[in-house]
Every structure is written in structure tokens, then in C-alpha cells.
Amino acid sequence: MTVRVKICGITSPEQALMAQRAGADALGLVIYSKSSRHVDMQRAAEIRQQIGESVLAVALLVNADRTQVEQVITEVKPDVLQFHGDETPEFCQQFNFPFIRAIRMREGLDLDAEVAAYQAPGGFLFDAWSADQYGGTGHRFDWNRLPSHRDYPLILAGGLTPQNVASAVQLVAPDMVDVSGGVESAPGIKDPVKVAEFINQAKLAAVGL
């Protein structure tokens, strides 16, 4: 099998170019003011211009209102939206635009019900649960909670690093792995060596699966 790699929390055009040179398949732009990796609309649009046609441009939003979502679609022109907050299925689906639904793995979560409700065309991203953060915690969850059989794209996130991504790929066999803090030297500053190592480890681990 093959696994795609998403580098999330890109904060500059230079980082976008670096990650693409390293082999990233997707780049995430966090348009959420409370994140340490936040970029505003203008900055996100500037970064978007540096993302090649073969690389997926993802705009991450957390509890944005309808007007802001429409503005992101129009001004940033992402390939896909990522709803990472408490958005309802109806809210996510109203834009007739491809989206990824992030599911934070809280205790007692009914995964089948969540998947059935959202029907996210871009797939489902599974992240660690935190009561006070909507992602980027650097924490991982028990990967064994994820289904081995599914009929949707599965994106694995939460506490991934160059040191553990191979194990994650071998255990979960995700369609994509997503990393942010695990390849940084400081919040919002991607480390080129860590980015390259993460991508290499993920891709190597998928060979033969």
C-alpha cells in the first residue's frame, strides 16, 4: 500500500515549498486565531499560491461561522476544508465543498454514528481528545480504537513524530498521516530535517503492507 503525508500548520510560503520538496502530499493551513500555528486569510492565500497542483491544499477551521467559511473558499481557494471543531453535519455539508471531518477520540465516542452522520467526502481525521484544545496537542490516542475495516479515507493524527510514524502506519494502515508539532523546532516553525525524516519513515513503512 501507499500512505500520503500531510504536513499541517504551515505558516509561511517558504515552509510550504520546503515541505513539498521533501515529498509532502498535502499541506494544512490553520485559519483559527487561538492556534499557535494560525495564519490569517491574507497569509493563507499567499501560502496557497505556493502549493503545487499535485499537492492537496487543506484549510483547517474551528467553529467558524458560515460567512468565514465562504470567505476561505473564495479567497484562499483550498482543495478541501477540514472542520476540526464542534461543527454539525448539516453545517459542514451546506457548502457543497469537499471536506475532511476531524474526530477527536474522546471516551465513549460512537465512531460508526459519527461517520454515518457526517459522510465526509474527504475522509475522517482521527486526533487525540483534549478538553481545552481542538488539536495540535502533541498527544496520541490508542490506535487500536480505530476500525481495521472501513469504507472511507482514514487520516491518522495526534502525537505523530518521525520516531513513531512507522509503527502507526504498520498498525493502522491509514490512507494518510497528519503531523504538525512532531516536525517542529518551535510552534509554527517546521524543521526541514524532521519533515524529511517523517515523510521517509511513513512512506517506507507502507511498502509491503
**Other Cβ atoms within 10 Å of 93 Cβ, number:** 17
Instruction: Classify residue 11 as exposed, middle or buried by CB count within 10 Å of its CB (0-12, 13-18, 19+).
Output: buried
The pLDDT value given to residue 59: 98
Tell me, yes or no, if 92 is annotated catalytic: no
As a whole number, the mean pLDDT across the chain is 92
More confident residue, 139 or 168: 168
pTM: 0.93
Q: Which residues neighbour 67 within 8 Å (Cβ) at sequence distance 6 or greater?
A: none
Q: What is the mean pLDDT of residues 115-141?
A: 77
The answer to whether residues 31 and 24 touch, using CB atoms and an 8 Å cutoff, is no
The pLDDT value given to residue 148: 79
Cell numbers that stand for 75 in this block = 479567497
Looking from the CA of 155 toward its CB, the CA atoms found within 13 Å total 28
Q: What is the pLDDT of residues 32-86, one digit of tens each?
A: 999 989 999 999 999 999 999 999 999 999 999 999 999 999 999 999 999 999 9
The pLDDT value given to residue 132: 56
The pLDDT value given to residue 138: 59
The number of angstroms, rounded, from the C-alpha of 24 to the middle of its chain's C-alpha atoms is 12
Active site residue: 25, 92, 127, 178, which one? 127
Q: What is the pLDDT of residues 137-163, one digit of tens each?
A: 556 788 888 887 889 999 999 899 999
Query: Is the per-residue pLDDT at 208 higher than 80?
Result: no
Q: What is the CATH number of domain 4-206?
A: 3.20.20.70
The pLDDT value given to residue 141: 80
The pLDDT value given to residue 144: 82
Q: What is the mean pLDDT of residues 118-145?
A: 76
The number of angstroms, rounded, from the C-alpha of 27 to the middle of its chain's C-alpha atoms is 8
Q: What is the mean pLDDT of residues 124-131?
A: 77
The pLDDT value given to residue 130: 59
Active site residue: 8, 25, 92, 178, which one? 8
Query: Is the per-residue pLDDT at 131 higher than 80?
Result: no
Q: Which residues neighbour 86 within 8 Å (Cβ) at sequence distance 6 or greater?
A: 63
Query: Is the per-residue pLDDT at 31 higher than 60?
Result: yes
